[in-house]
Chains A and B, each alone.
Chain A
């Protein structure tokens, strides 16, 4: 297993303790543990958030290779939109415990329907884009114990309507294979 996840000198490493390994190597060891029983689903919770970018690139490459080799599915949980764009086939965007939008990676990045998804996209500087002023979502995420009535995104939403204050939108299909929970797309 250690060899499969690309740890050098596995015969020697197998007898060593974790503190002797670097961050990237430890994450590889974790992946080896997770994959050892041939799972059908691997849930990866921010697996590369603590790593430097060059090491992150190594680990992501490894996960892609293992997914193909073991025919496993991966649920990849992360806050990094860049990583999602590179790794995912389908994307689910969550806000305050609910799904805001779900579709293919192409749809979510290039044809986002929910104002929260669009806000996220406008908040991040990208290496690939020309410099422009960032357009952040106003305000902060509310306290989870005091979620606003109606749509939970309403206080921060640039397109909020009167109805959003009272009505909690349902998750609805707005295009083939593309669902979102937003009153903008609810029929009257």
Chain B
């Protein structure tokens, strides 16, 4: 159906955290941080992943790289390094990969973290930080390594003499560039960008966004772009997945999602985003209340207590994640019949 150029295919991914209490550390509850999600990413595209804090975006990104062990599901990755002789690539299940395979796969899957202050070791020089992946994977000789680091720094807009400096000598935007250079060091196919610009000022944010776009073109990168800022995601992504409470509630192309949303949560989220134009006049849909407690999720559809279109069935039956056609996925009983308010570009 959609087997064309799929780099990463996530099927039924789950991550449950256990809540333990008492002397015997009995498991008293599960928190379903990521609850049975399906999505795929094509080679060279950017899939945006949006949602509010605590909805499981970061857990999803980290589970894909197995920085957190998933509780269930399959993650099929089209690997180049694991390909048998004579073939370009082969499908590997990341979830079931043994340690050695995982190390090989990590060359192809990298991550950029949100906080450029805590994700760089303050005791290491920039040169050491950027060349560490090369060392870990023993991929180059010392003499080549320095050249490689220089070219990586140049690619992200830093100078060769920055190699000998320490992270504290750099601003937030420059540090994020160092993090990007480190992620690029192994020539990966996929980069998980976990809120890469959230901690930056707007003018610096724009510089980093432009850099990520340029690098994607230059190195043919595929991004999973995680962010809570819908404006940034709309700008970056080819397709967007909206998460609520550990589930994907809607996934579609960026254009389709913004011009014809099918899930009430997507509609409400979009209408709540402040638009930098005083003449912008959209009817704000104010969601009532907060996101429910993850330990005791509401029965039926998780979104029903805040949904203005909720009917009786939503209180008892959880909707299926289904394809409305044209790979527009949605998790709502009434996705076909609701007429939701789009965001139209002027």
- Contact at B232–A57, with CB atoms within 8 Å? no
- Contact at B171–A140, with CB atoms within 8 Å? yes
Which chain B residues (139-192) contact chain A, with CB distance < 8 Å?
171, 173-174
In the complex, A157 has a CB within 8 A of chain B:
no
A residues less than 8 Å from B289 (CB atoms): 8
- Contact at B277–A128, with CB atoms within 8 Å? yes
In the complex, B96 has a CB within 8 A of chain A:
no
- Contact at A141–B235, with CB atoms within 8 Å? no
Which of B111-119, B206-214, B315-323, B329-337 lies at the interface with chain A?
A: B206-214
- Contact at B278–A56, with CB atoms within 8 Å? no
- Contact at B270–A136, with CB atoms within 8 Å? no
Bound-complex Cα distance A124 to B207 (A): 10
Which chain B residues (259-311) contact chain A, with CB distance < 8 Å?
268-280, 284, 286-287, 289-290
| A109-151 interface bits toward B, Cβ cutoff 8 Å, 1 = contact, 0 = none | 1100000000111111111111101111110110000000000
- Contact at B53–A52, with CB atoms within 8 Å? yes
In the complex, B62 has a CB within 8 A of chain A:
no
Which chain A residues (49-70) contact chain B, with CB distance < 8 Å?
52-58, 60-61
Bound-complex Cα distance A141 to B201 (A): 10
- Contact at A129–B290, with CB atoms within 8 Å? no
Q: Which residue of B lies closest to A109 (CB)?
A: B278
In the complex, A72 has a CB within 8 A of chain B:
no
- Name, among A24, A53, A58, the residue most crowded by chain B CB atoms within 10 Å (CB to CB): A53
User: Shortest beta-carbon distance, A19 to chain B, in Å?
Assistant: 14
- Contact at A136–B276, with CB atoms within 8 Å? no
Bound-complex Cα distance A81 to B271 (A): 16
Cross-interface CB contact of A86 among B204, B234, B275, cutoff 8 Å:
B275
Bound-complex Cα distance A135 to B52 (A): 27
- Contact at A125–B232, with CB atoms within 8 Å? yes
Which chain A residues (31-84) contact chain B, with CB distance < 8 Å?
52-58, 60-61, 79-84
User: Shortest beta-carbon distance, B167 to chain A, in Å?
Assistant: 15
- Contact at A136–B210, with CB atoms within 8 Å? yes
In the complex, A166 has a CB within 8 A of chain B:
no
- Contact at B343–A53, with CB atoms within 8 Å? no
Q: Which residue of B lies closest to A139 (CB)?
A: B203
Bound-complex Cα distance A131 to B232 (A): 10
- Contact at A86–B272, with CB atoms within 8 Å? no
- Contact at B202–A126, with CB atoms within 8 Å? no
- Name, among B53, B205, B290, the residue most crowded by chain A CB atoms within 10 Å (CB to CB): B290
Q: Which residue of B lies closest to A136 (CB)?
A: B206
- Contact at B231–A140, with CB atoms within 8 Å? no
A residues less than 8 Å from B276 (CB atoms): 81-82, 84-85, 109, 121, 124, 126
- Contact at A129–B346, with CB atoms within 8 Å? yes
B residues less than 8 Å from A125 (CB atoms): 206, 209, 231-232, 234-235
In the complex, B314 has a CB within 8 A of chain A:
no
- Contact at B235–A85, with CB atoms within 8 Å? no
Bound-complex Cα distance A101 to B286 (A): 33
Bound-complex Cα distance A133 to B213 (A): 9
Bound-complex Cα distance A141 to B202 (A): 12
Cross-interface CB contact of B205 among A60, A84, A123, A130, cutoff 8 Å:
A123
- B residues near A (Cβ < 8 Å) are 52-53, 171, 173-174, 201-207, 209-210, 213, 228, 230-232, 234-235, 258, 268-280, 284, 286-287, 289-290, 343-346
Beyond contacts A8-B289, A57-B287, A125-B209: 6 other A-B pairs, Cβ-Cβ < 8 A, are A54-B272, A61-B284, A61-B286, A80-B274, A85-B275, A109-B278
A-B residue pairs, 8 tightest by C-beta: A82-B274, A136-B206, A125-B235, A57-B272, A52-B52, A123-B206, A134-B206, A81-B276
